[in-house]
Structure 1
Amino acid sequence: MAEAETRQRLLRTVKKEVKQIMEEAVTRKFVHEDSSHIVSFCAAVEACVLHGLKRRAAGFLRSNKIAALFMKVGKSFSPAEELCRKAQELEQIVESKRNQSLANQDSLRRLPKLPSLSQQVVRNLWIRTALIEKVLDKIVLHLVENSSKYYEKEAVLMDPVDGPILASLLVGPCALEYTKMKTADHFWTDPSADELVQRHRIHSGHSRQDSPTKRPALCIQKRHSSSSMDERPSPSPSARDYVESLHQNNRATLLFGKNNVLVQPRDDMEAIPGYLSLHQTADIMTLKWTPNQLMNGSVGDLDYEHSVYWDYAMTIRLEEIVYLHCHQQGSGGTVVLVSQDGIQRPPLRFPRGGHLLQFLSCLENGLLPHGQLDPPLWSQRGKGKVFPKLRNRCTQGSSDSVSDKEEDEATDYVFRILFPNSQSDVTHYVLLCDQMKYQIISRAFYGWLAYCRHLSTVRTHLSALVNHAIVAPDVPCDAFGGLTAEVWRRFLQDGTAYKEQELLRLVYYGGVDPSLRKEVWPFLLGHYQFGMSEVDEQVRACYEQTMSEWLGCEAIVRQREKEQHAVALAKCLSLSASVDNPGTVHRTTPHDSSISNEVFESVEEVDQIETEPRSEEAKQVTKVNGEAQPNGTSSPDSGHPSSRNFSVTSGLSDRSLSTEDSTAPDTTPKTTTSATAQMPEMESLYPQFDSLTVGRELKNDALSPQELLDMYTLNLHRIEKDVQRCDRNYWYFTPANLEKLRNIMCSYIWQHLEIGYVQGMCDLLAPLLVILDDEAMAFSCFTELMKRMNQNFPHGGAMDTHFANMRSLIQILDSEIFELMHQNGDYTHFYFCYRWFLLDFKRELVYDDVFAVWETIWAAKYASSGHFVLFIALALVEVYRDIILENNMDFTDIIKFFNEMAERHNIKQILTLARDLVCKVQTLIENK
């Protein structure tokens, strides 16, 4: 058992890595050789190839077992022989790179490029080379076909099922094209979801300062798919002219220049070093700050003139500046420029060494003779200018104590730029005061107006999403323990010990003890009502009756398909005979066209029928004395259709199965089956057929037998396809339990033919069956669940409502994320949440987490919100909001990210955040 689990784990890892590589190839039309997905894929394949490898096959003295294995295979398999030669050449290059300084660069360019000399790349070099040379699948298939020669019996490649599956999985990656070209988004800007999460952890755990020699932060790079990159205006004049203008030229005089002056362009960014320069022309004085990445061109592979760093470059006209706030610090100094309208520019942080004073000195000299700083800088006997001797105000002690000891010198200064000879000097300051007053009043008014609108929007659009009673934020510790076995036992013994609302509150905050889920879930879903007696007998009887109806119909469908199969086969043989006997061709020529079309249509149906698992004999019973006699066990949970109470007439006469109507004219095509042309006769042959529609008249407007058969046949084929591939890797779904899943699904659809089966319904039924492990109970609970979930499918209108509510929620609770979504291609339609809402996050989580989330959703209806799925979806976005913002994700990015993060979420963190978000919305609605 442990060996089988190991094989399955290794194979699942390969499947995951193949999926990521193929997704990257589809979305970007190529895969770069340096992609991190290739490294992960090669490691996963190597683990499978080495699993259970015989010692003599691996080589006793070889540390690289893959190399030893491939070289042994190469003796009898030519693709492996050629691979060994290329891999050995690469190993020699790697060794030379370690020992030398890449002297022979030209020869290296002709070989596949290695991203780095890390131990992991070297260790997977043989697998990687085989992948790029497109022979990896052939070599693995050869190993599978000759596995007894190389592997022990427990190895993956020795398994008769897993070995061929592994070889088949490698066909797709080996068919792709791997490029060496440098592109804007080839490796660094398009990492996997795991890598993004890991980078964010490192980034948030350490406070660091970017260096111009390092790669820029993630938040500064954006793929070309974003529209925000295209809409950003390019700098004018051109980038090259702008950089040249920072130096001394015949149009402007450079008064001051200093590199590594730090500026923090946005609050959510780290400070960026740049070049600060002060320029003077005949008319104006200009202050410029340019990021170092633009000065030295280190913006990676992005288009230089369209680099995002141009957004952060500043050009400030000194005539617009009124005040300079200077703050001396031990690490240098900071200057904040205040313009005439009272708006402050981002602080300029100087490095150590007196550069702040030097900047002010150059600025003062540049202002002369028409302007000056107030207070002015003072010269100290020809030793240069110094800060004026300002004193801090003394707030303690008497005037005598102040005169006795010297006051401390001030370290913060406010300089004003004056133009004494200008008549508009007073006007400037009056304008400044007026502007500041206007800004203060305007901001206060618009802030108040926005707040009122904000609350109005919340109350109008979001009040229906949460219960009006606010969930207490200070939850008692016992609630987080959930519904325990002790609490449930006391409730069953004494129904007054706990109120229903208290039990639901415990489930909402802490879930249900896993051992109790089989008992508690029927209460949460409405199969039972708290305090009422059980209704199992009625449900079981209803379920058995429903099964007897659809199994009877299915028997008719199967019989009809067998007839169609026989007719199609006969036509194929007839057509083949006519082709083999040219002498008869002229007699069949007039009907060739119609016959050919019918034959091909029938053959397609035959193929579909033959691929469907069925056991006709096991599903039929004979009717003796008006009572059904089962061929097997009569337990309703056995999973065998033969145990159901239904009857189908067996041993039909040749006339009943005839493919020809005896009363029809001779010109009638003889390909018409009795199931389609003789429905009245079939009704008489199947006595129970009339009763199939009796109980369905109200729901289906008295469907005719033919319509009923057609609708059921269509749904039956859809169900059987989905059931066979539903969670087949999960331990519970053995063939017997998959049969149970099929029985429940067919029973539900039989009662809801007007809706029909839609892909995804099996996903909703499967967890219920896992927990309840009872067909009748799972059928009843699934019926209750679908009362809410049915509206999420295409025939309902709930999905558009979910999207609209998500838009309102995130716009109010996290405007920054909403703005990013709106700017990067406007994906505020939230279509990436479609699968979340359709299946209640079933595909996003592992089974144990699905159980916890579902029972919380069901309890939340009564405890906090009947739309708790919205808050879980919002919590999923909020948990990764910093990663989304840092990487400036667009619609394609966010879909790829969440697809890769499926089944890797911290569900406890997400549920806690979702409950907090509910409380936050409730508080906003109550205006508290």
Structure 2
Amino acid sequence: MWKDTGAPTDSFYEVRPECTDVPKTRFKIKAGKTLSERKWQAAFTPEGCLDISKTLGRIQRGGIHPSIRGEVWEFLLGCFDPKSTFEERDQLRQRRREQYAIWKQECRDMDPVVGSGRIITAPIITEDGVPIQDPLVLLEANRNKDDGSTEDSQHSDGNGLQETASNDLGPNSANVAERLTDKKIIQWKLTLHQIGLDVLRTDRTLVFYEKQENLSKLWDILAVYAWLDKDVGYCQGMSDLCSPMIILLDDEGDAFWCFERLMRRLRGNFRCTESSVGVESQLNSLASITQVLDPKLHQHLETLGGGDYLFAFRMLMVLFRREFSFGDSLYLWEMMWALEYDPDIFAMYEETETLSERNEGSKGKVKSTRQCGKFERENLRNGGNNPEGNLPISVFLVASVLKDKSSKLLQEARGLDDVVKILNDITGNLDAKKACSGAIKLHKKYLKKAKKT
């Protein structure tokens, strides 16, 4: 058991010594405020039912101790019903692990690199379904065959990490490869090298990702998810959202389901068409909030040509992962999820017969606000049927950042480049708890004004 000390979380998420320009984590573990392992265990009944309301306030005040962060996140993201028992959760966890293994094998049958411990980082198929054969890989494979070696042909990325440049483990490595006709498989295979390139860039300052097995685990999960989510597939930024799950949860299947639950919240961010970007509705809401709460700043941004608020795109897309240190981004996320917590989240995500039957008896009942996060309670009190009552807290977090930088933006920004530069300066300098407090204040203020109008 880790001791509850005032140590920063950098000690839990070790940074490679040569990475000297990485922002230091501000979050400190504080006894009496941070949710500790002891307090977490005390929130369960002997059967395993969790009193979630006991934990939400503590998370909002001081975050979660890194030693229990993964298991607490599973509840915050709706993987488990707080009313479930230890036995029910064990059974559900096992079923999910088995289901993930089935899906992963399905992907492996389509491309043997999945689950092999290797990563694809170069295109393996054309858009019309013709497999791409990398001459270097084929040459290396033939050389190994000639000298009797059974070693797999691999390329190094320059850091001692081995990756595959093409699908050279299966039938596609033959001199004559069959053209694929299934459009879904073609589309999936087209994304595999994109996933690989992003994985090799994700959180590479952390010692954790010096191990090839951790990188390949991240790639496998994203590859499986891309196959299952046919509408969205894979988009840049998803690796930033998935990476913490790999680090916090030892079992790959558990990490997948935690990521899948997070994507249920955020997949709309990645749905792009020719006429709109995924976060466009949130950007529009951000513009409305700023116009109501800081009309001078909104007018100034419009004058500069930034009325579409696209400069905030990255913050919303990957939930501030690039604006905070790794440890602080986790701290920010769990505070956001605790503030937004809805006790019905598990029921909304699960469609099992048992759960449907359980919920049937609760129809028409008023939701207990005691089990809700502070942000969600405010929505229920003031939001009503107003669309503004359903906005995610992330929009108000960006609004609070703009409010803090309002004077500087008004005085110094003479073009969009200046706006971007000023906002980029916040990287590593934001206080997660202060940002959440500011978001809550703006949220309450905005809902009152929206209600009046």
When normalised by structure 2's length, the TM-score is: 0.66
Structure 1 unmatched ranges of 5 or more: 17-477, 558-597, 620-639, 641-648, 660-672, 680-703
Shift of 1:514: 2.4
Equivalent of residue 707 in structure 1, options 167, 171, 183: 183
* 1:317-371 CA-partner distances (Å, limit 9, x unpaired): xxxxxxxxxxxxxxxxxxxxxxxxxxxxxxxxxxxxxxxxxxxxxxxxxxxxxxx
Contact 2:401 2:435 in 1 (8 A): yes
CA distance in 2, matches of 1:743, 1:611: 26
Opposite residue 286 of structure 2, the aligned amino acid is M
Gap change, CA 1:905 and 1:618, over 3 Å in 2: farther
Query: Does 2:282 correspond to 1:802?
Result: yes
SS in 1 for 2:68: helix
Query: Does 2:401 correspond to 1:876?
Result: yes
Q: How does 1:223-234 map to 2 (within 5 A)?
A: none
Shift of 1:604: 8.2
Equivalent of residue 775 in structure 1, options 238, 252, 262: 252
Structure 2 counterpart of 1:908: 433
* 1:439-467 CA-partner distances (Å, limit 9, x unpaired): xxxxxxxxxxxxxxxxxxxxxxxxxxxxx
* 1:244-298 CA-partner distances (Å, limit 9, x unpaired): xxxxxxxxxxxxxxxxxxxxxxxxxxxxxxxxxxxxxxxxxxxxxxxxxxxxxxx
- Between 793-802 and 725-734, the greater mean CA deviation after superposition: 793-802
SS in 2 for 1:919: helix
CA distance in 2, matches of 1:6, 1:555: 32
Query: Does 2:45 correspond to 1:493?
Result: yes
Query: Does 2:178 correspond to 1:675?
Result: yes
Opposite residue 313 of structure 2, the aligned amino acid is Y
Equivalent of residue 134 in structure 2, options 606, 625, 650: 606
CA distance in 2, matches of 1:893, 1:875: 19
Q: How does 1:121-132 map to 2 (within 5 A)?
A: none
CA-atom RMSD, angstroms?
4.0
Gap change, CA 1:553 and 1:498, over 3 Å in 2: closer
Contact 1:479 1:506 in 2 (8 A): no
* 1:799-846 CA-partner distances (Å, limit 9, x unpaired): 1111111111111111221222133x2312111000011101111111
Structure 2 counterpart of 1:848: 327
Contact 1:495 1:531 in 2 (8 A): no
CA distance in 2, matches of 1:608, 1:795: 36
Q: How does 1:617-628 map to 2 (within 5 A)?
A: none
Higher radius of gyration, 1 or 2: 1
Query: Does 2:322 correspond to 1:819?
Result: no
CA distance in 2, matches of 1:497, 1:718: 42
CA distance in 1, matches of 2:55, 2:47: 11
CA distance in 2, matches of 1:898, 1:921: 23
CA distance in 2, matches of 1:603, 1:529: 44
Gap change, CA 1:835 and 1:480, over 3 Å in 2: farther
Shift of 1:723: 1.3
CA distance in 2, matches of 1:851, 1:486: 21
CA distance in 2, matches of 1:731, 1:794: 32
Structure 1 counterpart of 2:368: none
Identity of aligned residues (%): 24
Shift of 1:550: 0.9
Query: Does 2:190 correspond to 1:729?
Result: no
Gap change, CA 1:485 and 1:735, over 3 Å in 2: same
Contact 2:19 2:205 in 1 (8 A): no
Size of the aligned set, in residue pairs, is 344
Equivalent of residue 268 in structure 2, options 775, 778, 791: 791
Contact 2:319 2:394 in 1 (8 A): yes
Greater strand fraction, Structure 1 or Structure 2: 1
Contact 1:807 1:828 in 2 (8 A): yes
Gap change, CA 1:781 and 1:603, over 3 Å in 2: closer
Structure 2 unmatched ranges of 5 or more: 1-13, 24-29, 115-125, 153-161, 163-168, 342-372, 377-390
CA distance in 2, matches of 1:498, 1:618: 50
Gap change, CA 1:610 and 1:771, over 3 Å in 2: farther
Structure 1 counterpart of 2:158: none
Contact 2:43 2:55 in 1 (8 A): no
SS in 1 for 2:245: helix
CA distance in 1, matches of 2:234, 2:59: 31
Gap change, CA 1:837 and 1:609, over 3 Å in 2: farther
Contact 2:292 2:446 in 1 (8 A): no
Query: Does 2:27 correspond to 1:547?
Result: no
* 1:190-243 CA-partner distances (Å, limit 9, x unpaired): xxxxxxxxxxxxxxxxxxxxxxxxxxxxxxxxxxxxxxxxxxxxxxxxxxxxxx
Opposite residue 838 of structure 1, the aligned amino acid is M
Gap change, CA 1:674 and 1:886, over 3 Å in 2: closer
Shift of 1:709: 3.9
CA distance in 1, matches of 2:137, 2:408: 49
Contact 1:722 1:759 in 2 (8 A): yes
Gap change, CA 1:658 and 1:851, over 3 Å in 2: closer
Structure 1 counterpart of 2:225: 748
Shift of 1:500: 2.8
- Between 903-912 and 727-736, the greater mean CA deviation after superposition: 903-912
CA distance in 1, matches of 2:413, 2:225: 45
Shift of 1:889: 4.3
